[in-house]
Amino acid sequence: MSGRLWTDDFKFDAGTILVKKTGHRIVPDLALLHSIFTWFCFYFFVQTWRTSRMLAGHRRPRMAFHPDKPRPWYFIWSVMHVSGARLVDDTAEADIVMQFDDSTETHNSLPRVRPGAHLLNFNCTDISKSRVAAAFEKVSGEGLAVDPRTFMGRMVEKSELNAAHDGRVLEGPLDAPVPGKTYQRLIDNEIPGGLVEDLRCCLVGGKAIIVFRKRRPLARRFLNENVEVLLDEPKNCYSADEITVIEAFAAEIGLDWGGVDVLRDKATGKIFIVDANKTDMGPPVALKLGAKLRATRRMARAFAETFAAAPR
């Protein structure tokens, strides 16, 4: 992801688009074209904000990334520019330095930084599904992981890798668990209308700022194909105690910036954190443009208040 051209991140291979960094494949179809068009509409407004900041001569904190730089489709890119931060290449000159690496597990050494610089996500080195489940159980006391060889009932098999979207529901126990997969209890997050709802909580400085209510058909619950996304506030989606758990989880895995996927179990009413993303893309494609812009402004305001140094 260090190349200058966006196309450096991808490779056309065997009829699919291969994401070089993660190894994931994207099917080039009409849905992809629609997503690209929708994103470019949002990108136009972000670029307008960015240009107005530059023309106004706004005094901005300097921000650098290591080891990679985010492309414009990552949420941090738009939030950074709307907040007024200025991208620099040298981490030793930056006021804010963020570890940006799409890998599930990272082993990056800390680059040269200046004294007093804000360091983001350098303690977030493992977002595998097993690590997420263990961290959530530690801060909440609620177990998510199961032993597939002894668990009785429905469970979810999914890859340990980030953004794989390959989950499937199985009936336990299993005779032969698949290597490289993790197994968790099935959280019933179904809502009226034959949909499931994920409560994606976006964090700045480890604090809950906004929530995307992401809804998709029950039959496609593990795919990133939302039919509706609504922008909401954390206080409308979680209790005060639940927000404390979410923020404690972020602290446990070292997530200063990013998003966590929270499911609410229909039977018990309890929340479960099932995924964490330190390089989240966003806002979601299915969110209306006006809500995309409001979400970006709210995140940018929180980002500036948390990390931007006071004007000199």
Both tokens assigned to 24: 């994931």
Q: From CA 226, how far away is CA 212, in angstroms rounded? A: 11
| Residue 35 scores a pLDDT above 90 | no
Chain position carrying tokens 């197994």: 183
The rounded distance, in Å, linking the Cα atoms of 77 and 54 is 15
Residue 37 belongs to some domain of the structure: yes
- How far apart, in Å, are the Cα atoms of 218 and each of 157, 195, 202? 16, 5, 23
The owner of tokens 């479960």 is: 272
**Residue pair 88/120 in contact by the 8 Å Cβ criterion:** no
Residue 17 pLDDT grade (very low, low, confident, very high; cuts 50, 70, 90): low
Q: Name the domain count of the chain.
A: 1
Residue 36 above 60 pLDDT? yes
Q: Residue 258: helix, strand or coil by DSSP?
A: strand
User: Per-residue DSSP letters for 155-185?
Assistant: EEEEESSTT----EEEEE--SSPPTTEEEEE
**Higher-confidence position of 304 and 43:** 304
Is 25 part of a structural domain of the chain? Answer: yes
Kindly state whether residue 41 falls inside one of the protein's structural domains: yes
Buried b (16+ CB within 10 A) or exposed e, 249-275: bbebbbbbbbbbbbbbeeeeeebbbbb
Whether 57 is in a domain gets the answer yes
List the structure tokens of 41: 């509409």
How many CA atoms does the CB half-sphere of 262 hold within 13 Å?
A: 29
Both tokens assigned to 39: 């994103």
Q: How far apart are CA 273 and CA 166, in angstroms?
A: 17
Domain holding 11, by residue range, is 6-122
Asked whether residue 190 carries a pLDDT value surpassing 50, the answer given is yes
Residue-wise pLDDT tens digits, 80-127:
988 888 899 999 999 999 999 999 999 999 999 999 999 999 999 999
Instruction: Write the pLDDT tens digit of every residue in 163-188.
Output: 777 889 999 999 989 998 999 999 99
Tens digits of residue pLDDT in 4-14:
555 566 556 55
Give the separation between CA 248 and CA 252, rounded to whole angstroms.
6
DSSP class of 105: B
Q: Confidence class of residue 196 from pLDDT cuts 50, 70 and 90? A: very high
Cis amide linkage into residue 311, ω under 30° from 0: no
Q: What is the phi/psi pair of residue 105, to 5°?
A: -115, 135
Per the CB < 8 A criterion, the answer to whether 279 and 101 are in contact is: yes
| Residue 194 amino acid letter | G
Q: Is the residue at 59 inside a domain?
A: yes
Tell whether 99 is covered by a domain.
Answer: yes
Is the pLDDT confidence value at 45 over 90?
no
Reply yes or no on whether the pLDDT at 18 is more than 50.
Answer: no
Between CA 250 and CA 48 the distance in angstroms is 32
Task: Answer whether residue 271 is part of any domain.
Answer: no
More confident residue, 75 or 31: 75
Cα three-residue angle 84-311-51, rounded to 5 degrees = 25
pTM: 0.86
| Residue entry with tokens 């194909």 | 225
DSSP assignment, residue 134?
Answer: H
